[in-house]
Structure formats: structure tokens, C-alpha cells
Structure 1
Amino acid sequence: MTTRRDCLKFSMAAALATLLPQGRLLAADDAPLLTRPIPSSGEQLPLIGLGSSATFSQVARGEDASALRDVLQALVAGGGSVFDTAPAYGASEEVAGALARELGITDRLFWATKVNVAGRGEDAKADPAKAREQIEASLKHLGKERLDLVQVHNLADVPTHLGVLRELKAQGRVRYVGVTSTSKPAYSRLIDTMRNEEIDFIGVDYAVDNRDVEETILPLAQERKIGVLVYLPFGRTRLWSRIGERSLPEWAAEFDAHSWAQFMLKYVAAHPAVTCITPATSKARNMTDNLGAARGRLPDAEQRARMAAYIDALPAAG
């Protein structure tokens, strides 16, 4: 049986990473990860990154962050670079910044964070000065003079926040700007923003059993040349609950998926609009397994349809 807990040889080849005395990272498998270009610039990003909500955030609140140090080490050792965080994720931003400095990998990461000082509610307004303060705090936490990407979290007061981000981009403090939403009721506002604002990225939820973004959002991102960061590719724990203890189908080997995590991530990665997927984890072995989804073949259209049908036929998570 192939489960998330198994470490098959395909994942282990990429997993073995050690921190050398000089802080240099060495991976056992030097096969490069598949990459995608940021549409607005052409800069290449590895298809799999790391998010810091959920379990990463929970561990960051504790006193022992050694597990997160191992996760960041595994990310970079395996060829990844994108780290997605937010001030709303508790201590994640600050802890990750400190650990990256300790490991000597700060400049090897693509730091993506968010801004939201508007509070709750669609009509809540943001104070531009407080937005700048929050971004300055992120710069301090991450030990950077310039952030790679800052997005307006949950479409909060987009005009105000995006105005601040554009000022900072013009000043060279932020390289890319965007907006995020993982709420289906807000998709119409996300679509309006994509159509009417000049942005480099969106962040959105997408999974093999959560495919609504395939209808309008992903095609529009391609049309408007907007990069896509994918959140919740496992539906938090929803997909794991649906899969249970089932064995991975033998036909998953046709597109080099050797674990359920790779199966789910490869479905998402195969969509050409996707720039990078950022599943959160607090375990280095899971980080390495996830990175395996950006190696080898990706499923074609027929295989993706089979993957979706397979998952759809499973009982819904209780």
C-alpha cells in the first residue's frame, strides 16, 4: 500500500538533504524541478513551493521550531524556493525568517506574503499608513529589503491596499503584486479585479476535487498574463479523509506519481495556468514528497479527467 506515510524510493532520492558546516545545502537527487514562468516577467519558479498556514502555523506558535527548520532545509535542498506566508498566519512569518537566516538561505527563497489591515467584512476600509507599517514589519521579519511578492489578502479593500503595493513596487521594495481569495462567494470580485487591475499574481484554492477555478479564473489568468499561486491543493484534510487507506492506483505511475500527495499535486500542476503550488506542511518528509510532484511527467488531459473521476467516485469526507 502506498500512503502519505510511506517513503518510497522515488521520494527518498530527493529527500536526502544535509546541512553542510558552511550553511550550504546538498541534495542527494540533483534532478531539477519543473518550473513555470511568471507571466509578467518570464522569471521561472519551481512548480512546488511551501505554504505556512495550517500545520506550519501551528508549530510556529510552539517553543520548538526545529521541525520547521528541517522543512525549509528540505524545500531548498530539493530545488524549491517559493515560501508563501502572511501576517495573519501567527508567528509563521517571523519564525520562517529567523530560521532562513540561521540556515543561510534567505536569499535563496522567493518570499511571498500578504497585506490586510482592513479587518473583517467586504466593505471594511484599510488605512494606507497601517498597510505600509504591516509590510515594513514583514520586511523586518523576513530579513529582506525587498519582498518578492505581496498580495492583498482575501480581496480586502483592494483599491487601498493595491495602491500602497504599487507605490512600494515603484520604489523597488516589492517586486510583484497581486490579490488572493479562497472563498467561492468572492470569486466574482476576484474575476472583476483580474479584469480591471494590473496585477502580477492571484492566489486561489484549487484541488482535484475543487475545480471551480477551471471554468473562468484560470483561463482568465492565462488571457491576462497573471501568475497563479495555488492554495489548499489537499483541501486541508478533506482529500486525505476521502482517500483514507486506499492504495494508489497503479496507473498513477503513467505520470510518475508515486504517492497520493504527488497524485493530487500533479493534477493541479498539469494545468498550464498554474505557476506554483504551495501546500503547507510541518514535516520535512512531506515537503520532500511534495517536491516529487514537480519531477517527471505530468498527466495529460485524458489522464487528468480519469484522476478527477476517480476522486469524485470516492465517498465525500464526513
Structure 2
Amino acid sequence: MITRRDYLKLSAAAGVALAISPKLLLADDSPRALITRAIPGTTEQLPVVGLGSSASFSRVAGEGDTARIRGILEALVREGGRVFDTAPGYGASEEVAGRAAQEAGLAEKLFWATKLNVAGRHGGAADPAAARAQLEQSYARIGKSPIDLVQVHNLGDVATQLAILREAKAAGRVRYIGLTTTFEQQYADLERHMRQEELDFIGVDYAVDNRTMEKRIFPLARERGIGVLAYAPFGRRRLWERVEGRALPDWAAEYDIATWGQFFLKFVVSNPAVTVATPSTSQPRNVVDNLGAAIGRLPDEAVRRRMVEHIEALG
């Protein structure tokens, strides 16, 4: 068993990072299909691990490196992934990824999840004309209609912007709609909207060291038949810093976990409320590693508790 860092060093040294398949990251090296989960209320299945586009992905996009972004998206699709989560608020991510996907002929192969927010993170009223213009910009960038999923980002003026998304869904231009937040002070508002609105999805932060969603939001999502995109499954950088220089526990192999990235992701996607986890990365080899968490055995409740205890014991 090796750490993600050791694995990446080895693969880079061997020059094979882009050629490996997720099966090579499994403890027993056996080929298996990606685990999928149905969007609630439908028969549509999605691989439980996708790709996000904030953080390092956004930085690469901001450099205008379309070729590198294309390589990341190609790795996702080649290895069986589909879900790509982005937003106009993630710098150049939506624009550059859309261009790269169209150039590579991937636009129709991806499940595009983007966002709508002209109200801003700190609230305020959204200009309906500006919101509609932003949505049209997303259509142009992504090159796909209908867009699979559009969510109101960070609960920005939900009344105005969710109404616009409902119009787009009714017109057949958006397949699914929802709300997102990764801010604790907005969790109560999110719960209220989940009870009052007809939503297909929510997008929230969730990780082995960040389990607030298990208390109220996830049970409500299951009750209401709402899909969940899990953001920040690595705790942004927190979890990587916590396991720095540490080897995986031996028992992780029993659940086809070969790297810390897969450990973190298997905890997230083993929660039945989670439809897809969308870790962000700027490296194709990380995409492949992450997809390894969508293969093989998932932890049961007892093992999930053991995973939490193990991470907490690291201090």
C-alpha cells in the first residue's frame, strides 16, 4: 500500500501516468466497472465519482492552458467518468473546459453541472436580466443544450434565480435544477429551501472530517428525493495535510483502497445520500486515482466509523 504522493511520484517517474486504468490502483488489481448511483426519482445512473473545477483546476484554466484542461477531461471520460461540476464563478473554468470539451468532442459525453449566480456570495438582489444572460453564456461555453444540471450557487437570491431555472427546465433547456452552498451559516436556509422548493439536486461540502450534513441535510435529501453532489471531499487541503507522511491502515485493502485519495472518497460515496462526489484536480493522473474510489467494495457503517476514528486519531 502506498500513499497518493508516493504513487504519483512512481507513476511520473515511469512516464505512464496517463495510460493507467483505475483497476491498477486497486488493492487486488482486478478489473471492475465503476459504481453508479441513480439520480433520485429517475432511472438515470451516474458514476459516483466525478470531477470538480475549482481550486487547482481553476488556476490552470486561468492560465489559458486548454490542452491541459482537455487532458483532464479526456482522462475522466476515458476511464468511465461523466460528471463535471463547474461554475461561472470558478474563474475561467467553465469557459476553458467548455472550449476544450467541444474541441475534443466530449461535450455530449459529459454530465455538465454548472451554476447560476449574479447575486454574489454575500447575498443581495439578482438582476433577472443579468441572470438570464449568465445562463445564455453557459450554453455558449458548454456547447450543449439542454445543460444537464444548473444550480443556484451559494443560495444567491434563490427566489429570483431558481425561478429562472424553473423556466429553463420547463422549456427543456435544463434537465435538472438545484441549490448549492458550502458555507455553514447558510445550512439552515438550505434546509428551509429543501422543504419548500421542488429541487432535483443540492451541492454541499462533505468529508470524513466534515460530517455536519449527516445530521439534517442528508436525511432530508433522502426524504425529499433530492440528489447530492458532494464538494470538497478532501476537506480542500485539510485531509492531505493530516495524512502527510503516513501510510494507509492495512485494513483499507479490504475495501479496494490503494491511496489516501480513494480512502477519503470511498468514505464520502459510501453514504447512500451522496449521488456523486466531485473532487477537483489539475492532474489527469489524479482523475484516474480518484475514479479508483468508484470501483470495488464500499465501506459499511462499521467501517465508516472506523475510518472516522482513524483520521481523528491522527490528530
Shorter-chain TM-score range: over 0.9
| Correspondences of 1:181-200 after superposition (within 5 Å) | 181-200=181-200
Indicate yes or no: 2:145 matched with 1:116: no
Q: How much does 1:14 deviate?
A: 2.8
Indicate yes or no: 2:70 matched with 1:69: yes
Match of residue 39 from structure 1: 40
Partner Cα separation in structure 2 for residue 151 and residue 77 of structure 1: 26
Partner Cα separation in structure 2 for residue 120 and residue 108 of structure 1: 31
Runs ≥4 residues deviating over 3 A: none
Q: How much does 1:254 deviate?
A: 1.2
Match of residue 265 from structure 1: 265
| Correspondences of 1:203-214 after superposition (within 5 Å) | 203-214=203-214
| Correspondences of 1:156-167 after superposition (within 5 Å) | 156-167=156-167
Partner Cα separation in structure 1 for residue 22 and residue 301 of structure 2: 27
| Correspondences of 1:303-314 after superposition (within 5 Å) | 303-314=303-314
Q: How much does 1:184 deviate?
A: 1.0
Partner Cα separation in structure 1 for residue 306 and residue 117 of structure 2: 39
Q: How much does 1:130 deviate?
A: 1.1
Partner Cα separation in structure 1 for residue 251 and residue 188 of structure 2: 37
Partner Cα separation in structure 1 for residue 229 and residue 36 of structure 2: 13
Gaps of 5+ in 1: 17-28
Partner Cα separation in structure 2 for residue 79 and residue 245 of structure 1: 31
TM-score normalized by structure 2? 0.92
Match of residue 82 from structure 2: 81
Q: How much does 1:127 deviate?
A: 1.4
Letter in 2 for 1:253: A
Letter in 2 for 1:155: L
TM-score normalized by structure 1? 0.91
Letter in 1 for 2:103: E
Match of residue 178 from structure 1: 178
| Correspondences of 1:1-318 after superposition (within 5 Å) | 2-5=2-5, 6=7, 12-14=20-22, 31-122=32-123, 124-315=124-315
Q: Is the 8 A contact 2:21 2:79 kept in 1?
A: no
SS, match of residue 228 in structure 1:
strand
Partner Cα separation in structure 1 for residue 213 and residue 75 of structure 2: 30
SS, match of residue 172 in structure 1:
coil
What number of residue pairs does the alignment pair up? 301
Partner Cα separation in structure 1 for residue 168 and residue 239 of structure 2: 39
SS, match of residue 161 in structure 1:
helix
Q: How much does 1:145 deviate?
A: 2.3
Point out the more displaced range, 283-292 or 139-148.
Answer: 139-148
Partner Cα separation in structure 2 for residue 92 and residue 30 of structure 1: 32
Partner Cα separation in structure 2 for residue 302 and residue 15 of structure 1: 25
Q: How much does 1:245 deviate?
A: 0.9
Q: Is the 8 A contact 1:15 1:285 kept in 2?
A: no
Cα-Cα RMSD: 1.7
Deviation track 1:181-231 (CA, whole Å, cap 9, x = no partner) reads: 101111000100111100000000000000010011111100000000000
Letter in 2 for 1:271: N
Q: Is the 8 A contact 1:15 1:288 kept in 2?
A: no
Gaps of 5+ in 2: 12-16, 25-29
Deviation track 1:14-71 (CA, whole Å, cap 9, x = no partner) reads: 389xxxxxxxxxxxx9742100111032311110000000000000011433222211
Partner Cα separation in structure 1 for residue 249 and residue 203 of structure 2: 30
Q: 1:100–1:234: structure 2 CA closer, same or farther, 3 Å change rule?
A: same
Letter in 2 for 1:13: S
Letter in 1 for 2:176: Y
Partner Cα separation in structure 1 for residue 64 and residue 31 of structure 2: 33
Q: How much does 1:236 deviate?
A: 0.8
Deviation track 1:91-149 (CA, whole Å, cap 9, x = no partner) reads: 10011111111211110000000000113423x11111111110000000011121100
Point out the more displaced range, 148-157 or 306-315.
Answer: 306-315
Letter in 2 for 1:161: Q
